[in-house]
Chain A
């Protein structure tokens, strides 16, 4: 195979795996948040804010990997 093809392949696989990680993480986060909101509806506001912050942090990690994949696919 053309050596460049490996870079494109790696970029695609890397992006997919990174998104799987982020999806699992945010899914567990949403589970915990919804359960907590069900138990204590009056804390909904605070839980929602914390949930969004945690989601942004987890997405940040997935986007590190995505940036590397974009750099790879550009080479």
Chain B
């Protein structure tokens, strides 16, 4: 089978996949057209959830689609949900939470609504509350008797958490066998070969150039885990009907916090606590200037350095989050272009090639973002581990002496 034949089959396969995706979106909009007659008769009837979902029309005549509403739908499609949505099938997921009334477990959202103790919120009020709450954390249910439920710790299985666990299982399946075989099988084949080549790449190109060998060997598991975890999550997010956990700010923040904690702990371990605190002054503590000036400058410097400590993890989270989310939004928008023109010809001629190109770009970005996250983590840890070599008992005289030679 020549390469050309394989590439052709691959492209045909992708085009075939794109067809049902466009068709399913069009059909779900078509059912709204079926409701048009119902709408005309009961003009004042409140919109049901189904009609609200399919409402992207600009006016009552339903001949042009409102692009703003379509874009809003695309962004809503990327949000987290309490059930798995497979186009029209909704697989229920368990709801687990703790609040003032204790620990609760419900097998699905419907059972929660049926239970009588809790009921689902009204959709408009839910949207309003989400805008006002901190980070938008509002449970979609409330107590049926209207009392305040207090602080609710929501541990339910949402779609993002479900795919996090799926990614974990895929990762374990991929790497466990390769890890065990690596100790005995010297010439790797198949899966072990793939995993070993990636592991060696991470070790030799990412970790060893940035961190000195002694600490690199001890910290290797963290970097390998980060790389493979982010890579697997990103790849899973590219399959149809899945959600990308790294497209959720909370997951990327957690990963960045893990790196942050690692860098600080490595800093304190290698430099010692006093030297670590002194590095917040940015080198001012060993300068030969009058004590008064020193205190003023240090008082200015320390808050700035402290805030500068948090810019690196912030950049890590935003980079990963924005790359993943932007890719999905662009693909959604390009497929929505076919809906906007309301013609299948425009779909196949314009949407599919562009969406295919962006999809392949996203494949690259998935691997690249895992690589960049791991590389930057290694660089930050390396900076912390190297510090104590540079700032070891170096007075200004010694530094001047070094330079003058």
Contacts and interface: CB of A to CB of B under 8 A. Distances in A.
Interface of A: 49, 52-53, 56-57, 59-60, 63-64, 66-67, 70, 73-74
Contact of A63 (B72, B75, B326, B371): B326
Interface centre among B322, B325, B326, B329 (most CB of A within 10 A): B322
Contacts of B323: 59-60, 63
Interface string B73-116: 00100000000000000000000000000000000000000000
Contact of A70 (B75, B318, B375): B75
B326 A52 contact: no
Contacts of B325: 67, 70
B368 A66 contact: no
A73 B71 contact: yes
B319 A60 contact: yes
B369 A66 contact: no
A60 B71 contact: no
Nearest to B329: A70
A66 B205 contact: no
Interface string B343-372: 000000000000000000000000011011
Contact of A66 (B72, B326, B372, B375): B326
A67 B71 contact: no
A53 B318 contact: no
A62 B326 CA distance: 11
Contacts of A56: 319, 368-369, 371-372
B75 A60 contact: no
Contacts, number: 41
Contacts of A49: 205
Contacts of B57: none
23 contacts: A52-B368, A53-B372, A53-B375, A56-B319, A57-B319, A57-B372, A59-B319, A60-B315, A60-B322, A60-B323, A60-B372, A63-B319, A63-B323, A63-B326, A64-B318, A64-B322, A66-B326, A67-B318, A67-B322, A67-B326, A70-B75, A74-B72, A74-B75
Contacts of A66: 322, 326
Contacts of A67: 318, 321-322, 325-326
The 6 A-B residue pairs with the shortest CB-CB distance, nearest first, are: A63-B322, A60-B319, A56-B372, A67-B322, A64-B318, A56-B368
A43 B368 CA distance: 21
A7 B318 CA distance: 22
A64 B311 CA distance: 13
B326 to A, nearest CB: 6
A57 B376 CA distance: 10
Contacts of A73: 71
A67 B75 CA distance: 12
B164 to A, nearest CB: 21
A74 B79 CA distance: 13
Interface string B43-87: 000000000000000000000000000011001000000000000
A74 B68 CA distance: 10
A64 B318 CA distance: 6
Interface in B298-338: 315, 318-319, 321-323, 325-326, 329
Contacts of A64: 318, 322
A29 to B, nearest CB: 14
Contacts of B321: 67
B202 to A, nearest CB: 13
Nearest to A56: B372
B134 to A, nearest CB: 16
A70 B372 CA distance: 24
A60 B371 CA distance: 14
Given A53-B375, A56-B371, 20 more contacts: A49-B205, A52-B371, A56-B369, A59-B319, A60-B315, A60-B318, A60-B319, A60-B322, A60-B323, A60-B372, A63-B318, A63-B323, A64-B322, A66-B326, A67-B321, A67-B325, A70-B325, A70-B329, A73-B71, A74-B75
A64 B75 CA distance: 17
Contacts of A53: 371-372, 375
Nearest to B316: A60
Contacts of A52: 368, 371
A69 to B, nearest CB: 10
Contacts of B329: 70
